Amino acid sequence: MGSYVLSRLAQAVVVLLAVAFITFLLLHLSGDPALLLMPPDATRAQVIEFRTQMGFDRPFFEQFFQFLGRILSGDLGYSWRFQEPVLPLVLERLPATALLAVTALIFSLIIAIPVGVISAVKRDTPIDNASMVLALLGQSIPGFWIGIMLIFLFSVKLGWLPTSGWETPQSIILPAVTLGLALVGRNARLVRSSMLEVLGEDYVKAARAKGLSEWRVVNHHALKNALLPVVTVVGLELGILLGGTVVIEVVFAWPGIGMLSVQAVTGRDYPIVQAVILLSAVLFTLTNLAVDLLYTRIDPRIGYK
């Protein structure tokens, strides 16, 4: 177990180094960083002075290692738009994104797991067919369209919920439901396929042969063993959601890192863009590591060497 954790941590470090390099490279591939960061009306002398001040006139790899050194020391740069250090600015927005991501994921699982289990137990019945059609629709409809329709119905027409922002506890309902509905379809289909595979196993047939009730067979024998692939996908989904739910945050003006990254791109605030990408990579990597370590808790048959 210890050697596996060390191996996964080493892989995570390599991945994060690669992300840091690509993030730094993209700024240079998009053009002269000095020209990109300076205002359009800046004079040539101002651009040259800024390029020298920021070190953009130095060799590429020298700039990269300086960039890497600043990251390791916790210095992710200075925001040109907000006139403050980037790291505190991004960390300030992270709780809003984390709250939205976790709420949406919990909402999706509360619906997806029962729907997937019922569809598997009632295979090839009208209930199964209707559930899978709805799941397919949930995956096919764009999230921003669902969000706009929910705003129109529950905010504009009924006046029950706020249209945007994060001012009251009710503000999270619409963005979380919108984000969660996009996950329900995929998770429900995954639960169904995993349950169908498990329900065909010999130990499930043996449990039924012993005269156990269907409820006990499904919940105590099949469901736990069907959760392993679900945990894998849920871990990936959580990592992606924590990285910034850009479209939903923009639709609902949710003050998370997704909204912050859009403001940074439109304002050419590249230090914030780099910080958001790096933070997203860290969160995604750590989430995947945590999911791997949960495997043995869910299925004792899996071991690490």
- Kindly report the number of other CB atoms within 10 A of residue 207's CB atom: 19
d(CA 36, CA 28): 10
Helix (H) or strand (E) holding 283: helix 270-298
pLDDT tens per residue, range 269-278: 778 888 888 8
pLDDT tens per residue, range 237-280: 887 787 668 888 888 888 888 888 888 887 777 788 888 888 88
Residue with the larger pLDDT of the pair 151 and 30: 151
**Where residue 146 falls among pLDDT bands split at 50, 70, 90?**
confident
32 in Cβ contact with 64 (< 8 Å) = no
Give me the pLDDT at residue 299, please.
Answer: 61
pLDDT tens per residue, range 62-84: 888 888 888 888 777 777 777 78
For residue 54, give every residue at least 6 positions away whose Cβ sits within 8 Å of its Cβ, in sequence order, or none. Answer: 33, 34, 37
Task: Name the CATH superfamily, with its identifier, for domain 88-298.
Answer: MetI-like (1.10.3720.10)
Q: Is the pLDDT of residue 4 over 70?
A: no
Helix, strand, coil % (nearest 5) of the chain?
75, 0, 20
Q: Is the pLDDT of residue 301 over 70?
A: no
d(CA 155, CA 256): 21
Please give the model's pTM, rounded to 2 decimal places: 0.78
What does the mean pLDDT of the chain come to? 80
**Where residue 297 falls among pLDDT bands split at 50, 70, 90?**
low
Beta strands in the chain (DSSP E): 78-79, 84-85
Q: What average pLDDT does the segment 16-42 reach?
A: 75
75 in Cβ contact with 87 (< 8 Å) = yes
Q: What average pLDDT does the segment 22-27 reach?
A: 79
For residue 146, give every residue at least 6 positions away whose Cβ sits within 8 Å of its Cβ, in sequence order, or none. Answer: 178, 181, 182
Give me the pLDDT at residue 296, please.
Answer: 62
Give me the pLDDT at residue 304, please.
Answer: 54
For the chain, the structural domain boundaries read 2-75, 88-298
